Amino acid sequence: MSLSQSKKPLLRVLDGETLTPPPFWLMRQAGRYLPEYRALRERAPDFLEFCYTPDLAVEATLQPLRRFDMDAAILFSDILVVPHALGQPVSFEEGIGPVLEAVRDLDDLRRLNSGRPEEVLGPVYETVATLKGTLPDKTALIGFAGAPWTLATYMVEGRGGTDHGHVKNWAYRDAEGFGELIGLLTASVTAHLSRQIESGADVVQLFDSWAGVLAETQFRRWVLEPTAEIVRHLKDKHPEARVIGFPRGAGALYGDYADATGVDVIAIDEAVPAVWAADTLQRGRAVQGNLSNLALVNGGQTLADETHRILGALGGGPFIFNLGHGVLPGTPPENVARLASLIRGWGP
């Protein structure tokens, strides 16, 4: 690792240092809560084209940094570019969110035209490389992907907002066939993250947004095992690779996730008690999170109190301040500015 890289505050924390105040960034820090994002978004015919147009994606990535100077930029893209690159029709519809042509069994899976994922995703790697050359030395660049289980939920359900009945049912009914889908996703996610690292990402985050809906046995099989495999392959290929794991909603299984997957950082949702996380998960390893995104929407004294509670519990060890889930579209930008100053002004 070069000297300038090793000085980035976020990377120092990844390697186990405690910084006061801690570095911060926000999941979904780019997006519709920023008027300049809404203006930029109008320049692309649709959301996927936006993700695949490097000029627009670079600009969307940089917008929140200009206002709030976070310690990390996160590549502007989406987790659903991987199913799209595997040949599944994906669209984003106003007021609904992502809509996919559902894959419900092995026949559907085999009908996917896996085409050339490398070609579809090429512009994403170009965006990473451009960002690498543009960001200030102190700012870390985060790449990301959806974890296999969460990608499978969208691929099988066909949209968000369901009870995950189809995908859970397939996993019980035909574990071998469902395992083929998870295997395909494990390989695709590994390749996608590997290319982001080669293009200049300092660290990558695995979003397992729906990890919390599974029974324990299923969690071990579809969340822990594929995640451990991705981390192992990435680190074999790139010994300097750093991985943040975000198994949202994992509850009592957060500890096992931290121990079994090999991730460098555990990202915790808002429901994880901060003091428990410090005692159980932190132990020399970095933790990231866990402010409620609705505390950020509402601001006021509660935002200050919650920010200080989390800093008080986790700020004494390696910690990256973040939300417990992404920034919501209705968030007032001035609340984000206030949060940035609360974090920067914090000291023991």
Stretch that binds ligand CP3, among 29-37, 114-122, 189-197, 281-289 (CB under 6 A): 29-37
207 counts as binding ligand CP3 under rule CB under 6 A: yes
Is residue 173 among the annotated active site residues? Answer: no
Q: Which of 12, 41, 235, 338 binds ligand CP3 (CB under 6 A)?
A: 41
What six digits make up the tokens of 92?
A: 């984003």
28 counts as binding ligand CP3 under rule CB under 6 A: yes
For ligand CP3, the closer of residues 42 and 176 by Cβ is: 42
CA 219, CA 211: separation in Å to the nearest integer? Answer: 7
Residue 81's Cα: distance from chain center in Å? Answer: 13
What six digits make up the tokens of 320?
A: 């990256």
Query: Pick the catalytic residue: 12, 67, 78, 220?
Result: 78
Q: Which of 9, 22, 31, 249 binds ligand CP3 (CB under 6 A)?
A: 31
80 counts as binding ligand CP3 under rule CB under 6 A: yes
Binding track over 288-327 against ligand CP3, x by CB under 6 A: --------------------------------------x-
CA angle 60, 65, 67 (to 5 degrees): 105
Q: Which of 12, 19, 92, 191 binds ligand CP3 (CB under 6 A)?
A: 92
Binding track over 171-200 against ligand CP3, x by CB under 6 A: ------------------------------
Consecutive H or E run containing 140: strand 140-146
Let me know how many helices (H) and strands (E) the chain has, helices first. 18, 9
Q: Three-state SS string across 332-344, please? A: CHHHHHHHHHHHH
33 counts as binding ligand CP3 under rule CB under 6 A: no
Nearest by Cα to 284 from 252, 319, 250: 319
Share in percent of the chain as helix, strand, coil (round to 5):
55, 15, 35
Backbone angles phi, psi at 244, to 5 degrees: -100, 125
Q: How many residues sit close enough to ligand CP3 to count as binding (CB under 6 A)?
A: 21
47 counts as binding ligand CP3 under rule CB under 6 A: yes
Is residue 28 among the annotated active site residues? Answer: yes
Known catalytic residues?
28, 32, 41, 78, 154
